[in-house]
């Protein structure tokens, strides 16, 4: 019984990121690409700057996933580029740019960082 409960819990966590029946190929592609961006950020050694303070990759992913879920639910994003522009580039509260700083590299805007990561992901696909 306990195993079934764990499997059900995992399914609840995974299902929002899987393509649902009736979704367009464009929506499926967007979800795959945005999921990659979250995974890429979460696995990085980078800091994420938001509203005056630096955050860990895990904190950043949690925040950006919340923004993505909201935008997706409201049908306001139809591509990974739109998500980067509308959800992962600046604070909707303060209007300040998000920034990313990795290792000893200079900080860059999150828009540039995510766009480069997306291009790398697309180039790696056959």
For the chain, the domains span 28-124
DSSP β-bridge partners for residue 15? none
Taking only the tens place, the pLDDT of each residue in 15-50 is 344 444 445 667 899 999 999 999 999 999 999 999
Contact 71, 87 (CB under 8 A): yes
Taking only the tens place, the pLDDT of each residue in 88-120 is 999 998 999 999 999 999 999 999 999 999 999
4 Cβ partners below 8 Å, 6+ apart?
none
pTM: 0.79
Q: Which two tokens stand for residue 72?
A: 């997706």
Taking only the tens place, the pLDDT of each residue in 57-66 is 999 999 999 9
Distance separating alpha carbons of residues 76 and 73, to the nearest angstrom: 8
- Mean pLDDT within 71-98: 96
């Amino acid at each position: 019984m306990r195993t079934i409960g764990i499997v059900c819990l995992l399914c609840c966590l995974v299902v929002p990121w899987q393509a649902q029946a009736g979704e367009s190929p464009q929506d499926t592609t967007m979800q795959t690409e945005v999921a990659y961006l979250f995974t890429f950020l979460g696995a990085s050694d980078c800091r994420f700057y938001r509203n005056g303070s630096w955050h860990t990759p895990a904190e950043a992913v949690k925040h950006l996933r919340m923004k993505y879920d909201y935008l997706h639910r409201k049908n306001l994003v139809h591509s990974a580029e739109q998500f980067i522009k509308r959800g992962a580039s600046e604070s909707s509260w303060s209007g300040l740019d998000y920034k990313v700083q990795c290792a000893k590299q200079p900080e860059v805007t999150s828009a540039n960082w995510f766009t480069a990561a997306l291009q790398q992901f697309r180039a790696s696909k056959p």
